[in-house]
Chain A
Amino acid sequence: MLVRLFPSDFRTNYGGEMENVFRQQHSEIEEEGSLMKLLQLWGETIAGIFATAPRQHWDILKRDVAYTLRMMRKNAGFTVLAVVTLALGIGANTAIFSVVQSVLLRPLPYAEGQQLVVLTQQAKKSGLEDIKFSVHEIEDYRQQSRTLAAVAEHHAMSFILYGHGDPDRVRSAVVSANYFDLFAVTPLLGRTFVPGDDAPGAPPVLILSNQYWKTKFGADPGIVGKVFEMNDKPHTVVGVLPSLPQYPSESDVYMPTSACPFRSSESFISNRDARMMTVFARLHSGFTASQAAADVATISSRLRAAYPRSYPETMGYAAETSPLQEELTRHARPTLLVLLAAAGFVLLIACANVANLMLARMSRRERELAVRTALGAGRGRLLRQLLTESFVLALMAGTLGLLFAFNSLHLLTDFAARLTPRAHEIKIDGPVLGFALLAAFVTSIVFGTLSALAARANLSSSLKEGTPGAGTTRQAGTVRNVLIVGQVAFSFMLLAGAGLMLRSLLQILQVDPGFAPQHVLAMRTTFNSSGPRREFVAVINKTLAQVQAQPGVQSAAFSSIYPLEPEVVAQGAQGMAAEFQVEGRELAAGEAPPAGSFTVVSPDYFRTLGIPLKEGRMFTERDGAWWQVSSSPEGALAKGFSAVAMINQAMKHRLFPNESALNKRISLDGGDSWLVIVGVVGDVKEFGLDQPAAPEVFYPQTEGPNPTTLIVRTASDPSAVADAIVRAVHEIAPQTAVSHVLTLEHARAESVASPRVTAGLLSLFAGLALFIAGAGIGGTMALTVTQRTKEIGVRLALGAPPGNILRMVLKQAMALAGLGVVLGLLWGLALTRLIKSLLFQVKPGDPATFFAVAAVLLITAAIASYLPARRAAEVDPLSAVRSE
């Protein structure tokens, strides 16, 4: 019979009756001999069971839930503790999982995003991982590849946009016309680029990003067709993008390659070595990313054979492809997985703790459960009640945890933005909700079963013994001890991980940046200059004089970048590196040419940043200013004028380890022109405090590209004079766009934000774990003392000194904690290896950290068990013995 579908209670109560009734109906109809009626009876009965059974289950569930809620209200303390403990665990997991889901798991928000790949070119022997592509190269890959259906290019530039209020510095993405087709983006307004938009001489057009359109133009629906001036040319807006995450970087406007003055110049296009562009491609359907990688590698070797001058053997050129999604999340993956594991540990500890709490409560509820058993409740029925209780608890915790996760989302988005461009996609979506629910469900099963199983063991014995509270069997005690040891061990691992990250962070913070960031302000200043260099230099010199005249300003300088500038740190030393040659040095076969980052600086740059001079002299106003000597550069050279450069110590050690660097000459253009080294300055952590000082070359503002950053050292708080400085700049050059105003201390703090937040989150998790484990130890010991009150009373009555009792309880707690520490130590040694890539100058098995963690845990255990131990020692032997 289908009676099995009913809840067991109902079955025992009514199962036999129902069978009876059915049999009678059956036999009656059999007498009538109507087969139809018989079948009808069967049908109706079966349908009836299916209709009734769920209702019965639902009724029981309602009753159990109502009972559970009543119990919870009665034990508010226990309920709050358990719900909050679990909620923290579930919340931490849900929050981290929302990041993992949004960044690592969810497909890219483009049609067939898995078909998108990014191409990278490396010069492996020079240690350059990403040297970008030149126009010729892009054309070659486009034409020769079998696997790539479409190839698009992208590079980022800043331009000034006129015609809408103040001149606005806009982040511009310069892309090929097929860029948006490749990503399958449909515009919100107007159109995207069409073939021909990027043809040489085509009228310049613009597409606005959704964000820029909203913030700058108030989402003006009539924006398409408006004309703005950029790079001295009118640009027509043809479209607005939908709100989409932008890869590889956030841009305000998009323009076709023909509109970028650099990208469209004859010399740039014809130069195979002018590599500036990032290349994206969409695979032909049916090809995999690895097939594309092989295809691209083949083309690369073909190009190396065809153009040996552009791909010197000594550089080790190569090209690769990788799936776009992988590329965008490469830096985030290890950190996120570590955090997810840490959050998982917290939840496990929370589970163990709540199971312990429930066990403790169970020992007090033994009599209740025993009475219910005696009244005829089956074991299954009781188990069901207990599981319902734990599920209700977990559901409440899950809801609260989701709330925690929801509130921490902003923080996590900011954090993840340092690791991946996908951070803005982070949200709590269906899968995340599902995850939270699953976490709550699994959690309830884990701790519910743990406590229910232990309770099962007790039930039969407790009534017989008739001593509630004292009747906890050895089995339940063992379960509790195992749970405590587990909590301590997992806490150890979390603490060790957090400890290592913190030590690593401290190490980074102690790194001498090589400059004095205090009281220094930096801002990006883009002059509208298309005139000759000497005019530009005159303007910036006048600007510097005006800025220096402001009260509170000590010194000021212009440069192309400044140390720890956020964008520069993001790009890394390699993104800034250029190759050059040293006069009189031939490269040996297979030797890579020297490379370094080149920075344009005005004379006071080093003084303003507090970078010490080690050898030779600083730049002066006359350096590079050939027009002060002759009417042409050639004339100046003929009169003995020389272009100059300075290098840092890292460069000196690489190039001239055993001789003076002064008066040596280097060339960036294959020997057409030379720079004389006039000075050596101290090393600066230009690209990140955790990076080794990169070899650097500096040249005066009169050479190279325009400096774009104004750096000002002030006597006191630099933010206070920021406005005055901006006004001073505008007094001299009103058309200058000023942006990214930042103190260098802020920039420095920003550069370590990622390890700081990782360390912070891990510490938070570890702190939670420590708190939970401490509470667990204290609670368990308190329970043990309560249960052993009688025994302790007898001991005291027999003359045991209270000190012994105190020691006895402490010893028991410390034995458990000690075992947990040993286990945690062993697992921790194995597991912390996995976070090696996140550590800076700290070994995964750092003895000091592990020792400190062990000490912290043992001290916590001692403190947590001291109160119960003292209570044990203060037991009044008479009342204890009498109480039973």
Chain B
Amino acid sequence: MVKAKEPGSYLPLTEATFHILVALADGEKHGYAILKEVVRRTGGKVRPSAGTLYGNLARLEESGLISESALRPDISLDDERRRYYRITDLGRAVAVAEAERMEEAVMQARAKKLFRKPRLT
């Protein structure tokens, strides 16, 4: 088994990795669903191809941030090949740590007045 490490030791995550974790945060999904969610969420800015998607999934699984789900929702709807992934506790902690890291970075930038405050309209 992979030794449980500090969530901080996985940071920073690549953009695609982070979005995959976020996509899985609200429940188990299969590959194509993850892909679509990532594309939708980022407005098409992040658009992993099939190869990169599964490359990332394999590595996330390897390091224990996600795992393959044993449960398959509704067998009738399910393609037997389809694998479902879920985020692990570690994965969740890492995603949170990454979000905090980014937030911290944004705060720093704001403090330096690097960009405008959001308008309260």
Q: How far is the CA of A48 from the CA of B31 in the complex (A)?
A: 15
Judge whether B53 is part of the interface by a CB distance below 8 angstroms: yes
Cβ of B47 and Cβ of A44 under 8 Å apart? yes
Query: What's the least CB distance linking B92 to chain A, in Å?
Result: 23
When each residue 31-47 of chain B gets 1 if its CB lies under 8 Å from chain A and 0 otherwise, what string results?
11001000000000001
Residues of A within 8 A of B79 (CB): 20
Q: Which of A21, A24, A44, A55 contacts B55 (CB 8 A)?
A: A55
Known: A18-B54, A56-B58, A59-B59. A48 touches B83 (CB 8 A): no
Give the one of B50, B51, B53 with max A CB within 10 A: B51
Stretch of A9-17, A333-341, A637-645 at the chain-chain interface:
A9-17
Cβ of B31 and Cβ of A17 under 8 Å apart? yes
Cβ of A20 and Cβ of B81 under 8 Å apart? yes
Residues of A within 8 A of B59 (CB): 59
Q: Which of A22, A25, A51 contacts B52 (CB 8 A)?
A: A51
Cβ of B32 and Cβ of A20 under 8 Å apart? yes
Query: What's the least CB distance linking B78 to chain A, in Å?
Result: 12
Residues of B within 8 A of A44 (CB): 47, 49
Judge whether B57 is part of the interface by a CB distance below 8 angstroms: yes
Residues of A within 8 A of B62 (CB): 59
Q: Is the interface of B mostly helix, strand, loop or mixed?
A: helix
Q: How far is the CA of A44 from the CA of B39 in the complex (A)?
A: 14
Cβ of A48 and Cβ of B51 under 8 Å apart? yes
Interface size, A (range): 20 to 34
Query: What's the least CB distance linking B82 to chain A, in Å?
Result: 7
Query: What's the least CB distance linking A11 to chain B, in Å?
Result: 10
Residues of A within 8 A of B51 (CB): 18, 45, 48-53
Residue of B nearest to A9 (CB): B58
Judge whether B48 is part of the interface by a CB distance below 8 angstroms: yes
Judge whether A47 is part of the interface by a CB distance below 8 angstroms: yes
Cβ of A14 and Cβ of B58 under 8 Å apart? yes
Q: How far is the CA of A21 from the CA of B48 in the complex (A)?
A: 11
Cβ of B81 and Cβ of A10 under 8 Å apart? no
Residue of A nearest to B59 (CB): A59
Q: How far is the CA of A49 from the CA of B51 in the complex (A)?
A: 5
Q: How far is the CA of A393 from the CA of B31 in the complex (A)?
A: 39
Query: What's the least CB distance linking A774 to chain B, in Å?
Result: 44
When each residue 59-94 of chain B gets 1 if its CB lies under 8 Å from chain A and 0 otherwise, what string results?
100100000000000000001011100000000000
Cβ of A20 and Cβ of B58 under 8 Å apart? no
Residues of B within 8 A of A18 (CB): 31, 50-51, 53-54
Q: How far is the CA of A24 from the CA of B48 in the complex (A)?
A: 14
Residues of B within 8 A of A56 (CB): 55, 58
Query: What's the least CB distance linking B1 to chain A, in Å?
Result: 14
Q: How far is the CA of A50 from the CA of B32 in the complex (A)?
A: 20
Residue of B nearest to A24 (CB): B32
Cβ of A17 and Cβ of B52 under 8 Å apart? no
Q: How far is the CA of A47 from the CA of B49 in the complex (A)?
A: 8
Query: What's the least CB distance linking B80 to chain A, in Å?
Result: 10
Query: What's the least CB distance linking B77 to chain A, in Å?
Result: 14
Query: What's the least CB distance linking B49 to chain A, in Å?
Result: 3
Query: What's the least CB distance linking B39 to chain A, in Å?
Result: 10
Known: A10-B58, A21-B31, A21-B35. A16 touches B50 (CB 8 A): no
Residues of B within 8 A of A24 (CB): 32
Cβ of B58 and Cβ of A13 under 8 Å apart? yes
Q: How far is the CA of A525 from the CA of B81 in the complex (A)?
A: 95
Query: What's the least CB distance linking A679 to chain B, in Å?
Result: 94
Query: What's the least CB distance linking B18 to chain A, in Å?
Result: 18
Cβ of B32 and Cβ of A52 under 8 Å apart? no
Q: Which of B47, B48, B49, B83 contacts A17 (CB 8 A)?
A: B83
Query: What's the least CB distance linking A597 to chain B, in Å?
Result: 81
Q: How far is the CA of A52 from the CA of B55 in the complex (A)?
A: 6
Residues of B within 8 A of A47 (CB): 49
Q: How far is the CA of A19 from the CA of B82 in the complex (A)?
A: 11
Residues of B within 8 A of A50 (CB): 51
Cβ of B52 and Cβ of A52 under 8 Å apart? yes
Query: What's the least CB distance linking B37 to chain A, in Å?
Result: 13
Residues of B within 8 A of A19 (CB): 50
Residues of B within 8 A of A49 (CB): 49-51
Q: How far is the CA of A692 from the CA of B9 in the complex (A)?
A: 80
Residue of A nearest to B39 (CB): A25
Cβ of B81 and Cβ of A22 under 8 Å apart? no
Cβ of A48 and Cβ of B52 under 8 Å apart? yes
Residues of B within 8 A of A20 (CB): 31-32, 79, 81-82
Cβ of A48 and Cβ of B58 under 8 Å apart? no
Give the one of B52, B55, B57 with max A CB within 10 A: B55
Q: How far is the CA of A50 from the CA of B81 in the complex (A)?
A: 24
Residues of A within 8 A of B58 (CB): 10, 13-14, 56
Query: What's the least CB distance linking B55 to chain A, in Å?
Result: 4
Cβ of B55 and Cβ of A45 under 8 Å apart? no
Residue of B nearest to A20 (CB): B81
Q: How far is the CA of A45 from the CA of B47 in the complex (A)?
A: 10
Query: What's the least CB distance linking A1 to chain B, in Å?
Result: 10
Give the one of B31, B48, B54, B58 with max A CB within 10 A: B54
Cβ of A17 and Cβ of B82 under 8 Å apart? yes
Q: How far is the CA of A805 from the CA of B62 in the complex (A)?
A: 53
Q: How far is the CA of A209 from the CA of B8 in the complex (A)?
A: 65
Query: What's the least CB distance linking A710 to chain B, in Å?
Result: 80
Q: How far is the CA of A55 from the CA of B47 in the complex (A)?
A: 19
Q: How far is the CA of A10 from the CA of B53 in the complex (A)?
A: 13
Residues of B within 8 A of A22 (CB): 50
Residues of B within 8 A of A45 (CB): 49-51
Q: How far is the CA of A17 from the CA of B83 in the complex (A)?
A: 7
When each residue 620-644 of chain A gets 1 if its CB lies under 8 Å from chain B and 0 otherwise, what string results?
0000000000000000000000000
Q: How far is the CA of A53 from the CA of B51 in the complex (A)?
A: 8
Residue of B nearest to A48 (CB): B49
Q: How far is the CA of A855 from the CA of B89 in the complex (A)?
A: 71
Q: How far is the CA of A48 from the CA of B47 in the complex (A)?
A: 10
Cβ of B32 and Cβ of A14 under 8 Å apart? no
Residues of A within 8 A of B48 (CB): 48
Residue of B nearest to A14 (CB): B54
Cβ of A14 and Cβ of B81 under 8 Å apart? no
Residues of B within 8 A of A13 (CB): 58
Q: How far is the CA of A428 from the CA of B37 in the complex (A)?
A: 58
Residues of A within 8 A of B83 (CB): 17
Q: How far is the CA of A51 from the CA of B58 in the complex (A)?
A: 14
Q: How far is the CA of A55 from the CA of B55 in the complex (A)?
A: 8
Cβ of B52 and Cβ of A21 under 8 Å apart? no
Cβ of B82 and Cβ of A14 under 8 Å apart? no
Residue of A nearest to B35 (CB): A21
Known: A48-B50, A52-B52, A53-B51. A21 touches B57 (CB 8 A): no
Query: What's the least CB distance linking B117 to chain A, in Å?
Result: 37
Interface positions, chain B 16-36, Cβ under 8 Å from A, are 30-32, 35
Q: How far is the CA of A51 from the CA of B83 in the complex (A)?
A: 23
Q: How far is the CA of A876 from the CA of B57 in the complex (A)?
A: 56
Give the one of A16, A48, A55 with max B CB within 10 A: A48
Residue of B nearest to A15 (CB): B54
Residue of B nearest to A55 (CB): B55
Residues of B within 8 A of A21 (CB): 31-32, 35, 50, 53-54
Query: What's the least CB distance linking B118 to chain A, in Å?
Result: 33
Residues of B within 8 A of A48 (CB): 48-53, 55
Given A10-B58, A20-B79, A24-B32, 16 more A-B residue pairs with CB atoms under 8 Å apart are A13-B58, A14-B54, A17-B83, A19-B50, A20-B81, A20-B82, A21-B32, A21-B35, A25-B35, A45-B49, A45-B50, A48-B49, A48-B52, A48-B53, A55-B55, A56-B55
Q: List 25 A-B contacts (CB under 8 A).
A: A13-B58, A14-B54, A14-B57, A14-B58, A17-B30, A17-B31, A17-B54, A17-B82, A18-B31, A18-B50, A20-B31, A20-B32, A20-B79, A20-B81, A21-B32, A21-B35, A22-B50, A25-B32, A44-B47, A48-B50, A48-B53, A48-B55, A49-B51, A52-B51, A55-B55
Which 9 A-B pairs rank lowest in CB-CB distance, beginning with the nearest?
Answer: A48-B49, A52-B55, A48-B51, A49-B51, A14-B54, A52-B51, A18-B50, A48-B52, A45-B49
**A residues near B, CB below 8 A?**
10, 13-14, 16-22, 24-25, 44-45, 47-53, 55-56, 59
